Amino acid sequence: MPTNDTVLRTIADELLELVKKSRKISVEDAAKKLKMPLATIQSLVDFLVEERVFGIEYKFTTPYIYLYRDGIKEAKGKESSFAKGLITKEQFYEKAKEKNAPYEHIEGMWRKYLQQNLAHIREEFLRKARDKKVPEDKIEELWKKYLAYL
């Protein structure tokens, strides 16, 4: 009997796990280990670098990827509002398509993005609703509708 604990794993998840284990790996080696075409992995890497999941550095002409938070020290003057970095579902899909991320993996990457940022998205949603003077008893109802959209 299937459980609700089942988690959908995408190639992006596999790539993330590989980079976590390796700490730093060339894009070519990642493609080989994942048994995926180099172009597919490169597209995912381009997208995940832009989203600041991965960092990238070059040794001669070979690109190496690493987890962004491990490879770059936090800037002292970092933006105070996390919400400035949040993007909509439409923006996420558009960026993924621009980076030629395989369409069959975009929904999984979007779900992962939501999972990682849902608390911040809710916080921003509540702030905006209160700024617009939405009655408190209506905010939760609106949040549920918004979650269904996501």
The tens digit of pLDDT for each residue in 56-109 reads 888 878 889 998 764 444 333 333 344 556 777 888 888 888 888 888 888 888
Higher per-residue confidence, 47 vs 73: 47
Beta bridge partners of 111: none
pLDDT tops 70 at residue 48: yes
Separation between Cα atoms, residue 122 and residue 141, nearest integer Å:
13
pLDDT mean over 131-150:
84
Are 45 and 142 spatial neighbours (Cβ–Cβ below 8 Å)? no
pLDDT tops 60 at residue 126: yes
pLDDT mean over 24-30:
93
Are 86 and 121 spatial neighbours (Cβ–Cβ below 8 Å)? yes
Task: Note the pLDDT of residue 85.
Answer: 64
Residue 83: count other Cβ atoms within 10 Å of its Cβ.
15
Whether CATH 1.20.1640.10 fits 11-149: no
Work out the burial of residue 107: count CB atoms within 10 Å of its CB; fewer than 13 is exposed, 13-18 middle, 19 or more buried. Answer: middle
User: What are the structure tokens assigned to 98, written together?
Assistant: 């621009």
